[in-house]
Chains A and B, each alone.
Chain A
């Protein structure tokens, strides 16, 4: 397993300097990927534009949308943006996508919420056609286009993983919850007779430091997930606030066969980067990859 780090792109205080430094540090190790979140009706930075900026200051690290809500975006425009990002990063883009659960995002984008499933299917079918075709350039650096991950937990999610994607990205939670879903993704993949196995990604939230930091992280999660009602509290309860919790969580994911685990900060502070890097050391930096 490898461990990636999330960019603070949806956090208060994420300015140019923090984002670009964060990306530069991450590129030095020990992290293998940079993740971004997506939310239209929220005061965060646009995920794709953020990754584009990071592409220009990094060399090695994978850039991943983990995730973006696909149907909020026009298919051809998204295909072009993703291909552009793939070119500008020299083939380092992973495109994680899901439906996104917020109706206000859909209303703001002018996309019908009730049709998002069908739109998503169509989008997944079309993206590669754009990447492989000549109508919308540029040609991505990665053959066949960027790696596509699909997230969610319905039967339709797994159908999409089998039919369209290169892998599955889990929506968060303890390792055991990840394992159950990853097993279903594997089963769907096998049932669809796809070659090899799907890539399986996970993610988690952390806030390392004293109680104030933990409380700040909690508040952010309660705010970010406010639309889920009481469930937000449950997400906030999962916040990793000590090095022990982080290590246990990472080991748990590794044991359950996760390929890439992206840990997201919940407090926009450069110290958070160092604390996570110190906690993890070089154990999951991908250097032992075959």
Chain B
């Protein structure tokens, strides 16, 4: 067998030496464009897990690498004049140049042929003469480009600008510095090594404001030496191949083609803030060696084994890296967070580290965080502070005793709007579990506002009587002082459907339907009945019904109302251009489209007691190019905040059957986080959360104030 490796970086060298070690009879040749003593790049970082796989793969090079290592454990965060250290992370760093010489030496010892200064412009000629061609030629891979049709690469660039520098200033641990000046907010990622690495990152706006698109290398160095003089302690910044870049994310549909296989940056990149490309490239090399150990010279089988082994890990890492990149590109959004919370948010940014993980890594950091969190919002500090989820949350004069929210799915066991006893029992059962906030499912404000014939309502006296007694039972049985909220809505054009048990929006047979009302006479789906476009009387009637329902909610003893303006129900269909093509003052511009929902909000706020909070469930997007947009939703959120809205629950989609939603467990959480920090209004996150750890992480990091909680274990009595 003959193996040709294109690219003499750490990935290519490591793959070649591991293969030569496993199969001494194979001929292994590395082709590298640059000379052997090229010193491009600064430090690279490894985690403990990577190191142990390197030890198993080749003990000798592992020993030499670890001898040259700088090890550290904490992460330092400097923000807004405050400083936090969080330990337990275990990193090891080495200069890229040192790593290269160790690997070159080890490869040569094992009999790998290293051809430096050997530029291969057409890999095809190499491929024809060899048994295996390994494309380890980095980000701008010639191999990837040559077989583009097979690999089907996808490349995208990040929004932020970054540049790598080095310095002799000995940073002793991973150090993040966030510093604002007249040009904007700068982020520094610095870490130790024989020389320290010092990466500067900022938004494009900041970069331009500082004139970085025009100044020379020397001026840039001086600018940052001056700006970060307190961290550099008089040391200089140095640069090699000075350049500002936008981070390129590379993915490939497959990593092998015929006898060619990609490893490292040629195959996949991940943002520098989460782990170096070097680490991934070397892990690829280990997997490739294992693949050949498993399948011998059956190249095809080995490549499949390699991809099967690596792809899930790489995908997971790329997803986390994208979250981390997204965080760093949008740090401005978190400047409203208190410094300690900012630090917690930073540490949990990628989703790979949670509240519980941090507690394992550095218990005292988390203890201090809990103490601070407990004290921050006026609660007295205690010797032992509880985790964020147990922190009370004041909304006007109502106090939510913890951060979990429970609800029930829309129920269909009401008669003429009166909730069945079985439903009320379930509501009480949820209350017995002690959520901070217990929300009813959407209660119709009029009979024609029901989804199904069984949707409960709050439009007749017997309805409040039923809820009144249920609330009484909750107050008696809840182990905490659970706040009980009524969710009010009108189904609009999504009404008069069959039970949800077998699917959404399946219209009732004609003889069982009631008339539907909507902004315009546009049916929800192809089989749905056409609603009546609401005239002035209808608008009055429904607004009055909302007010009536709010008064009933108060009379029934609810502490909170949550007005539903999401999911394509009546109020959100006013907001959505997909449902609203009115030509009066309620249609057209966003200002017009939000008028009716705001009128309803104001009318409820007028009668709803001042001391009780009112929330709105708002659509973040219709998931349709012609629908309601996220930037419009921000605008509505801002206006709602001005008018006294206390809590936003962000939902998305279901405004039309023609939607292209993004379904995963994070999407709605990301919306919640953005609204909370951009609009600065408390949010209830409606994404799928099943553990206390997730709630602690979301609340602690300032991504949500309250979290919809769907514990895996079913409710007692169900």
Contact = CB atoms under 8 A, between A and B. Distances in A.
Partners in one complex: yes
Interface of A: 121-122, 124-125, 128-129, 132, 144-145, 148, 155-156, 158-159, 162-166, 176-177, 183-184, 186-188, 190-196, 229-230, 233-234, 237, 257
B460 to A, nearest CB: 24
B653 A237 contact: no
A196 B500 CA distance: 11
Given A124-B503, A194-B504, A234-B307, 14 more contacts: A125-B506, A129-B527, A144-B502, A145-B502, A159-B663, A164-B503, A186-B688, A191-B652, A191-B663, A195-B410, A195-B411, A230-B303, A237-B304, A257-B712
A191 B308 contact: no
Contact of A128 (B308, B503, B668): B503
A72 to B, nearest CB: 22
7 tightest CB-CB pairs across the interface, nearest first?
Answer: A187-B688, A158-B663, A233-B304, A188-B663, A187-B665, A144-B502, A195-B409
Interface stretch (B141-149, B330-338, B654-662): B654-662
Contacts of B687: 187
A229 B307 CA distance: 14
B301 interface: yes
From DSSP, what is the main secondary structure of chain A's interface residues?
helix
A184 B300 contact: no
Contact of B503 (A155, A163, A184): A163
B537 interface: no
A152 to B, nearest CB: 11
Contact of A165 (B410, B503, B527): B503
Contacts of B308: 234, 237
B430 to A, nearest CB: 14
Interface string B475-515: 00000000000000000000000101111111000000000
A89 to B, nearest CB: 19
B280 interface: no
A194 B500 contact: yes
Interface in B375-413: 409-412
Contacts of A158: 661, 663
Contacts of A192: 504, 654
A162 B712 CA distance: 18
Nearest to A190: B688
A159 B661 contact: yes
B501 A191 contact: no
A184 B663 contact: yes
Contact of A183 (B525, B661, B688): B688
B256 A230 contact: yes
A254 to B, nearest CB: 14
A214 B661 CA distance: 41
B327 interface: no
Given A125-B506, A159-B663, A195-B410, A230 B304 contact: yes
B312 A176 contact: yes
B128 interface: no
A270 B692 CA distance: 49
Nearest to B718: A196
B504 A184 contact: no
A128 B506 contact: yes
B584 interface: no
19 contacts: A129-B506, A155-B660, A159-B661, A166-B502, A176-B312, A184-B665, A191-B668, A191-B686, A194-B504, A195-B412, A195-B500, A229-B254, A230-B254, A230-B256, A230-B304, A230-B307, A234-B304, A234-B307, A237-B308
B178 interface: no
A105 B312 CA distance: 30
Contacts of B651: 191
Interface of B: 254, 256, 300-301, 303-305, 307-308, 312, 409-412, 441, 498, 500-506, 525-527, 567, 651-654, 657, 659-665, 668, 686-688, 710, 712
Given A144-B501, A144-B502, A163-B505, A233 B300 contact: yes
Given A155-B661, A159-B661, A191 B688 contact: yes
A234 B311 CA distance: 11
B664 A195 contact: no
A194 B653 CA distance: 14
A191 B301 CA distance: 41
A129 B505 CA distance: 12
A151 to B, nearest CB: 15
Given A177-B312, A187-B687, A159 B304 contact: no
Nearest to A144: B502
A134 B643 CA distance: 52
Contacts of B505: 163
Nearest to A122: B526
Among B409, B500, B651, residue most surrounded by chain A Cβ atoms (within 10 Å): B409
Contacts of B303: 230
Nearest to A147: B502
Contacts of B504: 162-164, 192, 194
A143 B412 CA distance: 16
Contacts of A132: 498
A122 B651 CA distance: 25
Contacts of B525: 125
B672 to A, nearest CB: 13
Nearest to A159: B661
A112 B503 CA distance: 26
Nearest to B407: A193
Contact of B501 (A125, A183, A186, A195): A195
A92 to B, nearest CB: 18
Among A132, A165, A237, residue most surrounded by chain B Cβ atoms (within 10 Å): A237
Nearest to A165: B503
A237 B659 contact: no
B525 to A, nearest CB: 8
Contacts of B668: 191
Contacts of B654: 192
Contacts of A230: 254, 256, 300, 303-304, 307
Contacts of A159: 653, 659, 661, 663
Among A122, A132, A187, A233, residue most surrounded by chain B Cβ atoms (within 10 Å): A187
B440 to A, nearest CB: 13
A183 B506 contact: no
Contacts of B409: 193-196
A165 B504 CA distance: 9
Given A144-B501, A191-B688, A183 B665 contact: yes
Contacts of B502: 128, 144-145, 148, 166
B527 A125 contact: yes
Contacts of A191: 651-653, 663, 668, 686, 688
A155 B663 contact: yes
A267 B300 CA distance: 24
Among B410, B500, B502, B653, residue most surrounded by chain A Cβ atoms (within 10 Å): B502
B108 to A, nearest CB: 34
A125 B503 CA distance: 9
Nearest to B714: A197
B309 to A, nearest CB: 10
A144 B412 CA distance: 15
Contacts of B256: 230
Contacts of A156: 660
A282 to B, nearest CB: 25
Contacts of A184: 663-665
Nearest to B525: A125
Contacts of A125: 503, 506, 525-527
Given A184-B663, A193-B500, A194-B500, A237 B688 contact: no
A233 B307 CA distance: 11
A155 to B, nearest CB: 5
Nearest to A145: B502
A177 B498 CA distance: 34
A194 B498 CA distance: 13
A121 B657 CA distance: 10
Contacts of A183: 665, 688
A135 B342 CA distance: 62
B628 to A, nearest CB: 17
B301 A233 contact: yes
